[in-house]
Amino acid sequence: MFGRIKGGLMKHQIEYVCDKCKKPIPNSKGFLWINLDDIAEYRIELRVWITEGRHGRPPLKPRWKAHHGKCVQVREPIRSVRVESVRDERGLMRVTESLMQKDAAWLSLTDWLDYLRSVAYVGGTEWFNGSPR
């Protein structure tokens, strides 16, 4: 398969808004993050829900959050991504590839792929606070 971005630069810039103060996050001032214990817990809840016959609503996927560094005290252990590295589609591809290098399964248990889908089809999502500019 061959595909190439003409001109080299993509025209969309993704803006991230802090989940706490609701203001945009400039480069080097914040990050996207997720707690790894939440993912481990979700994995167990999901297994229970499936083995018990999938009754009722499935457990909720852990969500990536966006924060200014000064607006949050994260609970370790986490995975995090600086906002400046995911400003456009190309950045998102790079980061996704690096997040999946060791183990792709954990990433698919989060809303990361839902976020990628929303960027690809509608330019971002409310609950991730990403939007095209």
Cβ proximity to Zn ion: between 16 and 106 the closer is 16
Q: Tokens in use for 53?
A: 């016959």
In this chain, which of 5, 10, 21, 44 binds Zn ion, going by CB under 5 A? 21
Residues 52-111 that bind Zn ion (CB under 5 A): 68, 71
Angstrom distance (rounded) from CA 64 to CA 69: 15
Q: CB of residue 8 vs Zn ion: minimum separation in angstroms?
A: 32
In this chain, which of 17, 18, 66, 92 binds Zn ion, going by CB under 5 A? 18
Largest CA distance in the chain: 53
Q: CB of residue 133 vs Zn ion: minimum separation in angstroms?
A: 18
Cβ proximity to Zn ion: between 71 and 99 the closer is 71
Measuring CA to CA, which residue among 111, 115, 120, 113 is closest to residue 89? 120
In this chain, which of 10, 13, 20, 127 binds Zn ion, going by CB under 5 A? 20
Q: CB of residue 13 vs Zn ion: minimum separation in angstroms?
A: 19
Binding site for Zn ion (CB under 5 A): 18, 20-21, 68, 71
